[in-house]
Structure 1
Amino acid sequence: MDLLPIRRAILSVTDKSGLVEFASFLAQGGVALFSTGGTRRKLLDAGLNVASVSEVTGFPEILGGRVKTLHPHIHAGILADKDDPEHMQTLAGLHLAPFDLVCVNLYDFAHAASRGLGLKDAVEQIDIGGPCMLRASAKNFHSVLVVPGAEHYARVTDSLRANAMAAPLPLRRDLACETFARTSEYDAMIAGYLGSRDA
């Protein structure tokens, strides 16, 4: 589809600069917000109505936060092709709803590595769920708008405001491209770090 209406969004960010303003814009536009951990707490503290991702999964965050969004109820909602009636029927049959916007930025592994942490502690700062959601939404850019960093908030806000809270395909494609570049750089950084350390 050319213009994608934005109705449901997941926000899960490490860099929380501009987050409240961006989420407030989405909420004022009628977008239902879902979030995790510290991101959700910040938005709740700002007075926003934000559902927990656990309300979607029916499962709590576990293993110290290692497992939050790694769940078929999340990824089905991200990966469903909205132009494919069979996909939409599958979601409906499972009582799931698709997501339209995924706003994720990753754990700051570079900062963790630069602090001289031991290998085991540094590894805890490797994001798993974030890259999975980013890559899934970037793959499905025909049906999802991915926002991989705070520096994109203004562009996304301007575009949605100009299009009655719908995201044009060129914007979705551009941000998908940026997302794949970012996850590739993130993985390369981690590979370089691990390759330079003893087990």
Structure 2
Amino acid sequence: MAAIRVLLVDDHPLFLEGLQNLLKARGIEVVGTARDGLEALAKAQSLHPDVVLMDIQMPRCDGLTATRLIKTVLPDIKIVVLTVSADDEHLFEAIKSGASGYLLKNMDAKDFFRLISGMARGEAPISSELAAKVLSEFARQARQGEPTGEPDSDPDALTERQVEVLQLVAQGLTNKEIAAALSISGNTVKYHMKEIMQKLHFRNRAQVIAYAVQTGLVNPNT
């Protein structure tokens, strides 16, 4: 795994220490830790990590609020929620707030590192079970006409190839699987995803998929 600079945010010292040791053993640099959302914002601004692993329930400022604050001032930092909460409301709110992924603390270490390492390839660190919940919620919002996208997003700005990539992303394929399906390189897939997010004015893959479902660009049930 390529070196990743990580900021850990959790209000439980024992968990912080254990996770820090686990990450270091895998060659991941932990640049700092924080015990609440406000401290996380300050540390993110001073340390500029690549990734923030963020708990939700913390004193002073919760993780969802902190995610919105950090993404406002530092939009390029990737935030992954790491929590005990499998609550659907927390999951959906985290994605809407700009989180790039959502992981549960009871997951196996092997799966955790597999999903984290996928971030270097532009993949969203979220389990297949939680991803299915997100897509199901996006489909429900689309059926009921609830807004899930930016008002100035223009799907017509996408090229035919970018629509093809988006359709495969919505089906849950990884960048590697998309590359194989379209006979293109992984770097080309990453380029197309970057262009899609810029054209539609979104911050992560989940938000792009939500908009695509609502506008009929993709069908989450295919």
Q: State the TM-score bracket (shorter-chain normalisation).
A: 0.3 to 0.5
Q: Which of structures 1 and 2 has the larger relative contact order (alpha carbons within 8 angstroms, sep 6+)?
A: 1
